Amino acid sequence: MSKDPAAAAVPAKNGMKRRSRVMVLFTLPVVLLYSAFFMVPMLLGVYYSLTNWTGIAKTYKFIGLKNYSTVLQDKRFWNAIFFNFKYTICLVIGVLVLSLLIALALNQLGKSSTVFRTIYFIPAVLSLVTVGLIWNELFLRAFPPVGKALGIGFLSTSLLGNPATAMFGILIVNLWQGCATPTVLFVAGLQSVPKDLYEAATIDGANAWQKFKNITIPFLIPIVTMLVITTTKGGLTIFDYIQAMTAGGPAQATEAIGILIYRHAMSEGKFAQSIAESMLLFVIVAIVSFGTIKLTNNKQVGED
């Protein structure tokens, strides 16, 4: 006797419903935590940015978009944004170039590269503030004597004490620590490229640059995209290094937007204005990230 298809489908539907309930139960804690620690604070931030709250006063007034208007007319805000973009461009280029060069070198070492990858990854596990404080002492006490002994002018004094070089001092530290994870990712990406493609290209007469451009780079595009987005976000929101090394100085030469937001909120009693600055920074990071994805999503292997 043949079974009724409708009757046989009932247990399958019940099983799917049970699995759906289990999946909901597993995802519910994540959704609750995400809502409690991200969505709710963000919505409250949007609300408080439309008020004149100082951060400690019991009463405040709704003032609409006045804080945003004040921020957009603040020269100090635009100077901070300009610093962040300048710093971010240098950081992204530096991280990608240095990490890829190191990864290419490590990839040639074969099995022995594991030891060197471990050594290069050590900076990634250190605290940002700790790294900043250590390098601050190096710039202040270790490098100047070496610079004077070798007759190197820009090393004879602390890079962090000169408004023209302070940003580059912070950038050196950020690159030293920030290249660790990208290097490991690039090594993994290089090892995922099929060797047959290189052999076929060699038979066709391709040189090293042509193989790197047409074979290696397309396979690394997903990693590059991720690194550009995360590094850009890190550059636009940089805070720890600057706070530990220069606190925005000298003469506000390294006052990034994160430092400015912190000062407005904690030192100058402009809490609502600082939230408005945070919201504008969020929009900037979102736009830059979206633009990066759109520019690179058609460059991956197998896509036109």
Helices (H) and strands (E) in the chain, counts: 15, 0
Q: Which of 123, 303, 295 is nearest to 224 (CA)?
A: 295
Segment 33-54, tens digit of pLDDT: 988 998 898 899 999 999 998 8
Of the pLDDT bands very low, low, confident and very high (cuts 50, 70, 90), residue 1 is very low
Of the pLDDT bands very low, low, confident and very high (cuts 50, 70, 90), residue 3 is low
75 bridge partner residues:
none
Q: Which of 256, 291, 251, 292 is nearest to 277 (CA)?
A: 256
Average pLDDT, the chain: 86
* Residue 296 or 219, more confident: 219
- Residue 255 confidence (pLDDT): 94
Q: Which of 261, 273, 277 is nearest to 51 (CA)?
A: 273
pLDDT at 15 over 80: no
Q: Which residues contact 258 (CB under 8 A, 6 or more apart)?
A: 237, 238, 239, 242, 281
Segment 98-142, tens digit of pLDDT: 999 999 988 887 666 677 777 778 888 888 888 999 999 999 888
Of the pLDDT bands very low, low, confident and very high (cuts 50, 70, 90), residue 63 is very high
Give the C-alpha distances (Å, rounded to integers) separating 278 from 233, 237, 267: 13, 10, 16
Specify the amino acid at residue 219.
Answer: F
The residue behind tokens 């809490």 is 271
- DSSP-based three-state secondary structure for 175: helix
Q: Report d(CA 176, CA 151) in Å as an integer.
A: 25
Of the pLDDT bands very low, low, confident and very high (cuts 50, 70, 90), residue 238 is very high
DSSP state of 36: I
Mean pLDDT (whole number) for 147-175: 88
* Residue 16 or 179, more confident: 179
